[in-house]
Amino acid sequence: MLVVKKFGGSSVADKERIFNVANIVTEEYRKGNDVVVVLSAMGKTTNNLIAMAEDINPKAPKREMDMLLATGEQVSVALLAMALHSMGIPSISLNAFQVAMHTTSTYSNAKFKRIDSERIMNELDQRKIVIVTGFQGINKNDDLTTLGRGGSDTTAVALAAALHADECEIYTDVEGVYTADPRVVPDSRKLKEITYDEMLELATLGAKVLHNRSVELAKKFGVQLVVRSSLVEAEGTVVLEEAKMESMLVSGVAVDKNAARIAIVGVKDEPGVAFKIFNMLAKANINVDIILQGIGRDGTKDISFTVPEDQLDDALAVLDENKGRFDAQKIEHDAGVAKLSIVGAGMQTHPGVAAGMFEALYNVGVNIRMIGTSEIRVTILINEDDCDKAMRAVHAKFFS
């Protein structure tokens, strides 16, 4: 059996944690399995490197930023290899060049194109644990690229796909995927299984357990993911195509506080206006989520939508620059909002789930400002202050 195990930055933050990882992977190795380990940079390394760069040049070229950041994972993988050697376990660290992990050239947000399996397979054949730098790749010029935040999850899944691994385990600080954030909802519970689609909705919506790109990739290549703790020995959550158990009505409640609402008030009610607006936001790489368009009145209409709060300034700047093109009466915005979502494959066949959510919120006096839905998800926009109360109420509705 070939297993890929990924550990995040806090799991390799210091000597003690590095040896903890060494013990976990050694246990798997001693079962006779082939083990590939993917690591992030230690603790706050990446943030420290970013701070150094910003001190020197706040607008540092992304190519050089990736050159800088790629060193973080290289340090982690070398240190883990040293730890394993001290325990007598054969191992070797490999960076993006050595593997080689080919990506597109979009620095700081590259995508995998192809991963060579030869070198890794060669090392595995010699019964070594192979430790690979997460988060990074090389482009066609042999320049280093990085995958953006959460990229190490993507590296793990991409490697698992390329190597036809039997399982891809993502080790985190939590024991698995919960029905809601346990810090906010104390009686939330760990899920044994969840489908890719459910996980994708949860990941996109702010459950920070897995990065959505990694879930998409896992779904695409049918990589079986397991989310589990690097601190506690406990069964994690399996992410797979179709839950083997009867799928639950709702599998999770997620909150995303990184949301802001923009309202474009009084644009002309004529074809093409929405296209113009969202096309220019897309070109500026701004992720628009829930969109609401009111019914026209007096020849004008209002368009509201949400963007990530950290993209609000960029979005407003784009709208301001181009305001001549859509002729609005005014543009309003509000950063004090949050998105609350329920996700569940069971929703497709059980009507009334959304209504149940709205009822729970009504009972605790939470005002719903916008609503968006997909086949297996209902998302609402609420005031950020209502977040915890709303989450508990909705969780209680579906899980007690």
The binding site for a second copy (CB under 8 A) comprises 15, 18-19, 49, 52-53, 55-57, 59-61, 63-65, 67-68, 70-71, 74-75, 77-79, 81-83, 85-86, 92-93, 95, 97-98, 119, 142-144
Shortest distance (Å) from residue 269 CB to a second copy: 47
The interaxial angle of helices 15-30 and 62-86, nearest 10 deg, is 70
Shortest distance (Å) from residue 296 CB to a second copy: 49
Phi/psi at 368 (5° precision): -95, 125
Tell how far CA 342 is from the center of its chain: 17
| Vertex 126 angle, CA 125 and 131, to 5° | 85
**Residue (55 or 375) nearer to a second copy, CB:** 55
Q: Shortest CA distance to 79 belongs to which of 157, 1, 7, 135?
A: 7
CB atoms within 10 A of CB 9: 22
**Residue (54 or 241) nearer to a second copy, CB:** 54
Shortest distance (Å) from residue 21 CB to a second copy: 12
Shortest distance (Å) from residue 318 CB to a second copy: 25
DSSP H helices, 240-284, are 273-283
CB atoms within 10 A of CB 183: 10
**Residue (86 or 363) nearer to a second copy, CB:** 86
**Residue (128 or 377) nearer to a second copy, CB:** 128
Shortest distance (Å) from residue 37 CB to a second copy: 14
Q: Are 142 and 105 in contact (CB under 8 A)?
A: no
Shortest distance (Å) from residue 60 CB to a second copy: 4
Tell how far CA 135 is from the center of its chain: 13
Shortest distance (Å) from residue 66 CB to a second copy: 8
CB atoms within 10 A of CB 213: 23
**Residue (20 or 212) nearer to a second copy, CB:** 20
**Residue (88 or 271) nearer to a second copy, CB:** 88
Shortest distance (Å) from residue 362 CB to a second copy: 53
**Residue (132 or 393) nearer to a second copy, CB:** 132
Shortest distance (Å) from residue 142 CB to a second copy: 5
Q: What are 300's two structure tokens?
A: 């004008």
Query: b/e for 345-356, b at 16 or more Cβ within 10 A?
Result: bbbeeeeebeeb
Q: Are 4 and 38 in contact (CB under 8 A)?
A: yes
Sign of the alpha-carbon dihedral angle for 10, 259, 357, 362: positive
**Residue (68 or 243) nearer to a second copy, CB:** 68
232, with CB counted inside 10 A (0-12, 13-18, 19+), is: exposed
**Residue (97 or 358) nearer to a second copy, CB:** 97
